[in-house]
Structure 1
Amino acid sequence: MPPPSPILEQNDNLTLGTVQSQIQKGMSQAEVLSVLGSPNIVTKGSKGNEVWTYDKIGSSQSAVASSTYGARTLGQGIWVFLFGGVSSRSSANATTESKSLTVIITFDENNNVSIINYQSLKY
């Protein structure tokens, strides 16, 4: 009998949409591996069944820059003309957004998916 084929890592497929649309109750462990890749953590449940945990954490940064140009008012039009009445102001704001997705899949005694739990956070 030839050795089993290696399982390719596909953790980039770990998205909430993938879990919701492709992971179903009754799927075998091999099918889950083909969709999500290897889990981050494997534990045994209270009944001896396997529990797989997938964790994905990411962050992104975005920057917003703005500039404002306008005329200064000094009360007398001549003063604006003589002393340069145009002002400018610029500012930049950077924001960081972090996301995490935790997926916990519990298998039954036949190693088929029995429970799918997930939590998606954005902060």
Structure 2
Amino acid sequence: MMNDDVTAYIEKAEPWQAEVCTSLREMVHRTVPGVEEAIQYGKPHFLRDGRHMAVIHVAKAKVSFMVFDAAGVEAVPGQLRSLGNGDRKAADIREGGQADCEFLADVLRRVSGVNRPAGE
């Protein structure tokens, strides 16, 4: 279910960032059945069964998409970086770039236990 506060967060971003955020948001909803949205710590978080799955963060020169509970997912140089002790992974999208939603959906499926491709 879409959350109006998340929509407002996205609408305040620069146009290119809003486009990236919208793509990521739609990908999360296609990938994780029953996902819920909430603004927490000032950023859009995606939760399932009360568990944090992912977060979008708009910064000055990028949009970051972070996935939680991703210790079992390998970092991919230039595509997915480790944060903290490696239990979180993040992808950074800069102006002129696009989110690799297929790749990120696969990461999200792996950490959420969803075993079906997006759109099926």
TM-score by length of 2: 0.29
* Larger RCO (alpha carbons 8 Å, 6+ apart): 1
Question: Counting helix residues as a fraction of each chain, which structure ranks higher?
Answer: 2
Structure label with greater radius of gyration: 1
> Which structure dedicates a bigger proportion of its chain to strand?
1
Give the TM-score normalised by structure 1. Answer: 0.28
